[in-house]
Amino acid sequence: MRVDKFLSSVNILKRRSIAQDMCDNGVVKINGNVAKSSKEVRVGDKISLHYLEYTKHYEVLALPTTKTIPKNKSSEYFREILNPSL
């Protein structure tokens, strides 16, 4: 699954277009490497979102099979890493 599609479908980001813009501007990293929006995400990958004042880190636990998932099911697909060692 594409990284932009993953970020929007598991409710990390609100819209896929926002995820694409973030990828185009080098804000999204997968396993420490800057990711294009078409980069494939796999289970176990670590995704970093570098905002202006802070960075959020996530680990992919599963890939969704539908376009969107309910917000209360998001924890099944990713977990936030509080103390990353990237």
Condensed to tens digits (0 to 9), the pLDDT of residues 30-57 reads 999 999 999 999 999 999 999 999 999 9
For residue 40, what is the DSSP state? B
| The pair of three-digit structure tokens given for residue 5, joined into one six-digit string | 């599609």
What burial letters (b/e) apply to 65-75, b meaning 16+ CB within 10 Å?
eeeeeeeeeee
Report percent pLDDT > 70 for the chain.
97
Cα-to-chain-centroid distance, residue 77: 10
C-alpha pair distances (Å), 28 with each of 65, 66, 70, 72: 22, 22, 23, 24
pTM reported for the whole predicted model: 0.88
| Phi, psi for residue 59 in degrees, rounded to 5 | -115, 135
